[in-house]
């Protein structure tokens, strides 16, 4: 074997990997200087819900590795599908070519998504799906002789990704402000997050009140609006803000009434996370665009999909090239990622995952009662396989302390401010749920 093919075995330790990472890797969503005092967590391997470092120390992945993992790390069924696919086709461009995994995946998603979404356009990460939907919406109006419809609206505290187009509909100052001069200005409308309801006002009444504000905005601005983009049922980055499905139902009616597209960003909440395959089902609506990513590959590979209607597809179908949707990414519809997605859908079917999750969620709600009742816990809330609450704490750096203390208790916790949440892989066992509650109680006691 030529010398250049020989990979020298290298003994890696926690300490070795940390220092090499800090010198060579610029980590995402991080002020790198913080790692002078807050060490990175080295991960050697994953199995099921657990991540292990090089000394065998383990961490329960309560956040599904940024909300992507559904069936555990190194899942044997997804692994086997990928190994099989590796022997057939690793990649081919999707412009001018097609392949079995992307066709099968599109067919199966059309059968699973709310009725009427018959066309799948492929991207890679979640933010690329947001970009695609925004561009497709505005281009639709241009192709429909309404080129002035180029503005978008999103909810207050919305999050739709970090690329420039996605930031234009993301309402998180920390992520936006540095790039303000580069970002298109779009308006926001009040969020139906029920934590903001008046005392005595139900989540439903509050959602309807917020829908009235949406209507007022649409009434005034619809002529220039292309689309309203929304995270259905849970605004993840807003601190797992949850809201009543009636808001989505009203948003659908109002968007149809005022000729504005509705984009449902189910990047975080799709794939069973809210208790139904897609959150929109709980409001009985079909959006004009449905965005899917994260859990679709079981947390294995980047893949995103924008599903849309015949009406939108037909507006691009013409003799002129420029009326077509000419957007692309090199890895669009990658066969390996599609195959991981097909294996993920197989698990949903074969294991009746949605029903199994209902049983798990009931169990967790029962054993989480001491958390719900804890005097320092506020707004305990739950939807599907997501739980969240605020901790009344004197520590301004609660998130960092909680993360560090979590690691000492074998938990990967990643609070947002003083909001602590659990979004575990669906394979979490009863024993692991019990451990999660017991260790979280100990952490809250220590930090409140
Ligand atoms: C609702 C929502 N939209 C879009 C994104 C962006 O996805 P990605 O990080 O894969 O670009 C996220 C990521 O957390 C998200 O939660």
The predicted structure's pLDDT at residue 57: 97
Does 293 sit in the ligand 1 pocket, CB within 6 Å? yes
432 burial level (CB within 10 Å; 0-12, 13-18, 19+): middle
- The rounded Å distance from CA 90 to ligand 1 centre is 25
User: Is pTM beyond 0.85 here?
Assistant: yes
Does 236 sit in the ligand 1 pocket, CB within 6 Å? yes
- The rounded Å distance from CA 406 to ligand 1 centre is 24
Does 159 sit in the ligand 1 pocket, CB within 6 Å? yes
Residue 389 neighbours by CB under 8 Å, 6+ apart: 371, 372, 377, 378, 379, 380, 381, 419, 420, 421
Ligand 1 probe mutation, 268, 273, 295, 416, most atoms within 8 A of CB: 268
The predicted structure's pLDDT at residue 1: 45
The predicted structure's pLDDT at residue 257: 98
> Which residue, chain included where needed, has tokens 């507006």?
315
Which alpha helices (DSSP H) does 242-352 contain, by range? 246-258, 310-316, 335-350
- Torsion from C-alpha of 150, 235, 128, 151, nearest 10 degrees: 0
Query: What tens-digit pLDDT sequence spans the chain (448 residues)?
Result: 454 455 555 678 999 999 999 999 999 999 999 999 999 999 999 999 999 999 999 999 999 999 999 999 999 999 999 999 999 999 999 999 999 999 999 999 999 999 999 999 999 999 999 999 999 999 999 999 999 999 999 999 999 999 999 999 999 999 999 999 999 999 999 999 999 999 999 999 999 999 999 999 999 999 999 999 999 999 999 999 999 999 999 999 999 999 999 999 999 999 999 999 999 999 999 999 999 999 999 999 999 999 999 999 999 999 999 999 999 999 999 999 999 999 999 999 999 999 999 999 999 999 999 999 999 999 999 999 999 999 999 999 999 999 999 999 999 999 999 999 999 999 999 999 999 999 999 999 999 9
262 burial level (CB within 10 Å; 0-12, 13-18, 19+): buried
If one counts every other C-beta atom within 10 angstroms of the C-beta of residue 188, the result is: 16
The number of the ligand 1 atom at minimal distance from the alpha carbon of 266 is 1
Residue nearest to atom 13 of ligand 1 (CA): 161
Residue nearest to atom 3 of ligand 1 (CA): 160
SS3 call for 416:
strand
The predicted structure's pLDDT at residue 9: 55
Residue 274 and residue 233 in contact, taking contact as beta carbons nearer than 8 Å: yes
Residue 230 and residue 241 in contact, taking contact as beta carbons nearer than 8 Å: no
Does 299 sit in the ligand 1 pocket, CB within 6 Å? no
CA–CA distance, 120 with 306 (Å, rounded to integer): 6
Backbone dihedral angles phi then psi of residue 14, each to the nearest 5 degrees: -55, -50
Residue 254 neighbours by CB under 8 Å, 6+ apart: 211, 214, 215, 218, 260
Q: Locate 438 and state its tokens.
A: 């017991």
Does 385 sit in the ligand 1 pocket, CB within 6 Å? no
Residue nearest to atom 9 of ligand 1 (CA): 126
Residue 150 and residue 117 in contact, taking contact as beta carbons nearer than 8 Å: no
- The rounded Å distance from CA 159 to ligand 1 centre is 7
Does 390 sit in the ligand 1 pocket, CB within 6 Å? no
The number of the ligand 1 atom at minimal distance from the alpha carbon of 66 is 14
In terms of C-beta distances under 8 Å and separation of at least 24 residues, what long-range contacts does 367-376 make, across chains too? 367/433, 367/434, 367/437, 368/437, 370/437, 370/441, 371/437, 371/440, 371/441, 371/444, 374/441, 374/444, 376/444, 376/448
Residues 421-440: tens digit of each pLDDT: 999 999 999 999 999 999 99
Q: Report the alpha-carbon angle 192-195-198, nearest 5.
A: 85
The predicted structure's pLDDT at residue 10: 66
């Amino acid at each position: 074997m030529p010398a250049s093919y020989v990979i020298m075995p290298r003994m890696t330790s926690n300490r070795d990997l940390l220092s090499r990472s800090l010198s060579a890797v610029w980590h995402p969503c991080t002020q790198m200087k913080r790692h002078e005092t807050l060490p990175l967590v080295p991960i050697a391997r994953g199995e099921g819900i657990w991540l292990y470092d090089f000394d065998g120390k383990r961490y329960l992945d309560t956040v599904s590795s940024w909300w992507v993992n559904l069936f555990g790390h190194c899942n044997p069924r997804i692994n086997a599908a990928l190994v099989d696919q590796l022997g057939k086709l690793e990649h081919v461009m999707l412009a001018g070519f097609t392949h079995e995994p992307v066709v099968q995946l599109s067919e199966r998603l059309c059968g699973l998504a709310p009725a009427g979404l018959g066309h799948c356009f492929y991207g890679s990460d979640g933010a690329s799906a947001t970009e695609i939907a925004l561009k497709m919406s505005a281009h639709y109006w241009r192709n429909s002789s309404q080129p002035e419809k180029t503005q978008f609206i999103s909810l207050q505290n919305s999050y739709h990704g970090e690329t420039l187009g996605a930031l234009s509909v993301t309402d998180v100052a920390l992520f936006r402000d540095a790039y303000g001069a580069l970002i298109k200005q779009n308006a926001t409308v009040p969020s139906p997050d029920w934590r903001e309801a008046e005392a005595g006002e139900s989540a439903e009444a509050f959602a309807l009140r917020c829908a009235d504000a949406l209507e007022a905005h649409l009434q005034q601005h619809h002529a220039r609006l292309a689309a309203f983009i929304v995270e259905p049922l849970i605004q993840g980055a807003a601190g797992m803000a949850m809201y009543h499905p009636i808001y989505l139902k009203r948003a659908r009616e109002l968007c149809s009434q005022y000729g504005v597209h509705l984009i449902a960003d189910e990047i975080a909440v799709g794939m069973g996370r809210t208790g139904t395959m897609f959150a929109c089902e709980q409001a009985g609506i079909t959006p004009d665009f449905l965005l899917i990513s994260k859990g679709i590959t079981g947390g294995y590979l980047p893949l995103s999909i924008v599903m849309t209607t015949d009406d939108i597809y037909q507006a691009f179908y013409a003799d002129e090239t420029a009326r077509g949707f000419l957007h692309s990414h090199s890895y669009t519809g990658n066969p390996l990622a599609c195959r991981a997605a097909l294996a993920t859908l197989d698990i949903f079917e074969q294991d009746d995952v949605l029903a199994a999750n209902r049983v798990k969620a009931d169990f967790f709600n029962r054993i989480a009662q001491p958390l719900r009742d804890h005097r320092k816990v506020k707004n305990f809330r739950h939807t599907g396989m997501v739980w969240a609450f605020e901790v009344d704490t004197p520590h301004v750096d609660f998130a960092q302390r909680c993360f560090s203390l979590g690691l000492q208790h074998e938990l990967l916790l990643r609070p947002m401010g003083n909001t602590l949440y659990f979004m575990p892989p669906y394979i979490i066992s009863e024993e692991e749920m019990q451990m999660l509650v017991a260790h979280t109680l100990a952490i809250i006691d220590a930090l409140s």
